[in-house]
Amino acid sequence: MSGTACSKPKATLGRILPVLLVLASLGCGTGGLQDNGSAHEREPQADLDAAGARPLVPGTAQQGYIEYVGDADWYRLEIPAGADTLRIELSNQTLSSPVDLSFTLYAEDGVTILGGRYDPDGSDGMTQITQELAVGGSNLCFVVVRDNGSDDADPLNLYFLKATLSAGAGDGNNSPESAVAASCGDSVEDSIQVRADVDWFRIDLAAGADILALSLAMPAGTPDLALTLYDSAATTAVVSVADGDGTDGPTLLARNVRLAAAGPYFLSVRDTLDDDADPGLFYTLHAECLPDPDTHEPNGNFSTLDENRGHATPLSAGAAAEGFIAFQGDEDWFRFTMPRQGLMNLSVATQQGSRPLQLVCTLLGPDGRTVEAEFEVRAGQEAEAYEARFALSQGVHYLRIRDSGNDGADPDGPYTVSWSFEPDPDLNEPNGNFATRQENLNHATFLAVGGSEEGYIGSTADQDWFQVFVERPGVYHFALSNDSASNVDLTLSLYQPDGQTLLLTRQDEDGQGEEGPTRIEAQLYVFQAGTYYLLVQDLGNDDTDLSVPYRVETRSVALPVGSTEPNEDRSQAQLILPGQTVTGWIEFEGDRDWYSLLIVGNQDVIVEIWNDAPSPVEFIWFMYPPSSTQVYASAGDNTESDSNLIRIVTGDDETFWVDENHPGLYVFKVSDYNRNDWDTAVPYRFRVTLWPHGP
């Protein structure tokens, strides 16, 4: 080999490490480096020296692995006549790698043109090393990718290598060293002049300023702009935002970033995939340097949970604190101490004329991790306040406030948060709202059959669990009531002994507890002994009432003399004779009484059902052919009423019969029309009469 392939470098490297936001449209890293789809077999390969170097095609990304300690991948780059500028970008797509990626540029004769440009720490985020240098004439260069120090390997995570060649002087700000100076409060204009153009800018954050407010605007056009903010060394990206499609309307990218210290910072603007350009379409970059209006900062956004807890703003009962979501991704932590187990009245309010934000407020346990409650408060043109009451244990709890998408900010629109303590009047607490269903069952208040318990829905989403031991199968009555209008829309649910299988749920009929006293009743047949569970809560889990208690009760129900329960299944059908009048009761919700009758065929069928006193049950019967679940005939009352008095006769006009080809044991079922009413006081009468069918 002979000759010198490349001149001295005219810019140093930069390493891109996005830590807050990198949109998918950016490709690999913030530089827009993207895999071109080519794939290569893993080592061993023949790319260990210049003779086996893989071709590096300008404008496309090559990929590979540093698979073992000491691995070095060689690439061969032809520089055609007319190209005078070379930019090399080396990156990966993993947030942590043991490999500290490095590349070295050699001339054709083996002379080192650009020595070991590298990421000093591959484990702290995604790597991108960028280097631009001048080249002259048509020459041959070699690029070697290795681990800096050659003492680490990463056979799992790909790296991407891209070379970009261009001609001409360019716009002169394609590297951090040649960045155009921008001042706080001013705007600068530029354009994406050629494909793969990268424009760098430098801005100095003045002392006393904490937030850099950035905006990037451009009329609709082919470039899909990406804006990246780097630290003062221009090696780590603090945040990156992009417009995935510049043609679908004007581009407007905005981001408020809280920075750790005053001093220089760097910005880059480029097309997201380096594949579009328009030298005549100008973008405007604007920056403002602002003090953080939130006097409690820093009270969040630390790297560990313990740091967030340790820096949480103390919040005393009865005192209001003001906060701001002043930059994208801002999290504000507050700490408050419950003097004893009880109720916390919490208020979070936004101001009129705020920017549109959706504040997510998360109530956390003493560990700062366990979510005790979560709700949202909207900020915008109209003021909004959220007030809720939570049952909490004694000790320290935390409140974390952030924007829902972590993409909104308003340094001018504050929110206020305050809380107060209140004793819980519910003597059964805590009997719910534990982290697991099993804990709720373990703490369920014992409710004796024939007894009652009083409680309160005292906190938002309050769940009160009760356990009822059923000694023997039978009919049991459950009731939930209060004595006056209440904010709470009471709901009662009954669960099997496993605590998971729902038997029934009942609620205030109109869901309007404030319209008057509530009484919810349920009656059902319990087929096995055991401990059953009742759950009392508000219908929407959003109302509370400490002034109006509820009462939950249960009792066993004595069955009327002559009851044939249980006969809930067809196999338990009672055999009756033609013309026999049977007496029965719909004794609980869903009760079904089964009867069977032998019909020899060619007979008219007359079915009668009646009751002798008003009843809430809408009586109905169904007839089924032998060995069939298809309804053969049915008749009954379908009008909901609390005082039904019926007498229904079917078949007396000789239009209902069983022919000689279908004899057998027919089955009849009697039930309530909607299967939601019962009556153990008023029975029904049921009779089936058979007559020979005439010609």
Task: Tell me the pLDDT tens digit for each residue of 558-610.
Answer: 999 989 888 888 999 999 999 999 999 999 999 999 999 999 988 999 999 99
- Is the domain of 11 the same as that of 152? yes
Among the listed residues 620, 605, 582, 595, the one whose alpha carbon sits nearest the alpha carbon of residue 663: 605
List strand residue ranges (DSSP E) for 527-587, in order.
Answer: 530-538, 550-557, 574-575, 581-586
How far is the CA of 523 from the CAs of 65, 156, 528, in angstroms? Answer: 70, 63, 15
CA distance 420 to 17: 44
Task: State residue 22's pLDDT score.
Answer: 29
- Is the domain of 149 the same as that of 198? no
Examine the pLDDT at 77 and tell me if it is beyond 60: yes
- Is the domain of 323 the same as that of 391? yes
**Burial of 384 per CB tally in 10 Å (0-12, 13-18, 19+):** middle
Cβ 596 vs Cβ 582: under 8 Å: no
Examine the pLDDT at 138 and tell me if it is beyond 80: no
Banded pLDDT at 309 (limits 50, 70, 90): very high
* Residue 427, in any domain of the structure: no
**Burial of 684 per CB tally in 10 Å (0-12, 13-18, 19+):** buried
- Is the domain of 519 the same as that of 640? no
Q: Between residues 375 and 40, which one has the greater pLDDT?
A: 375
Q: Which domain holds residue 338?
A: 305-422
Strand, helix or coil for residue 570: helix
Other C-beta atoms within 10 Å of 479: how many? Answer: 17
CA distance 463 to 534: 10
CATH number, domain with residue 60: 2.60.120.380
Q: What angle do CA 259, 12, 191 make, to 5 degrees?
A: 70
Last residue of a domain, one of 422, 446, 470: 422
Examine the pLDDT at 38 and tell me if it is beyond 50: no
Mean pLDDT is lowest, of 18-22, 388-392, 429-433, for 18-22
- Is the domain of 77 the same as that of 130? yes
Q: For the whole prediction, is pTM greater than 0.75?
A: no
Examine the pLDDT at 423 and tell me if it is beyond 90: yes
Among the listed residues 333, 395, 321, the one whose alpha carbon sits nearest the alpha carbon of residue 363: 333
Cβ 148 vs Cβ 119: under 8 Å: yes
Other C-beta atoms within 10 Å of 423: how many? Answer: 12
Kindly give, in sequence order, each residue whose CB lies less than 8 Å from that of residue 94, ignoring residues fewer than 6 positions away: 126, 157
- Is the domain of 369 the same as that of 455? no
Task: State residue 581's pLDDT score.
Answer: 96
Domain count, the chain: 5
Cβ 97 vs Cβ 122: under 8 Å: yes
- Is the domain of 401 the same as that of 509? no
Banded pLDDT at 36 (limits 50, 70, 90): very low
- Is the domain of 335 the same as that of 469? no
- Is the domain of 199 the same as that of 96? no
* Residue 280, in any domain of the structure: yes
CA distance 524 to 468: 14
Banded pLDDT at 509 (limits 50, 70, 90): low
Task: State residue 6's pLDDT score.
Answer: 42
DSSP string, 42-111: PSS-S-SSGGGPEE--TTSEEEEEE-STT-EEEEEEEE-TT--EEEEEEEES-S--S--EEEEEEETTS-
List the end-to-end C-alpha distance of the chain, in Å, as a whole number. Answer: 118
- Is the domain of 110 the same as that of 156? yes
Strands 54-55, 72-79: parallel, antiparallel or unpaired by DSSP? parallel
Examine the pLDDT at 536 and tell me if it is beyond 60: yes
- The radius of gyration of the chain from alpha carbons, rounded to an integer in Å, stands at 39
Last residue of a domain, one of 422, 445, 467: 422
- Is the domain of 123 the same as that of 157? yes
Q: Percent of the chain at pLDDT above 90?
A: 63
- Is the domain of 470 the same as that of 404? no
* Residue 295, in any domain of the structure: no
Placement of tokens 């360019």 in the chain? 170
Give me 190's structure tokens: 């530029």
CA distance 475 to 39: 71
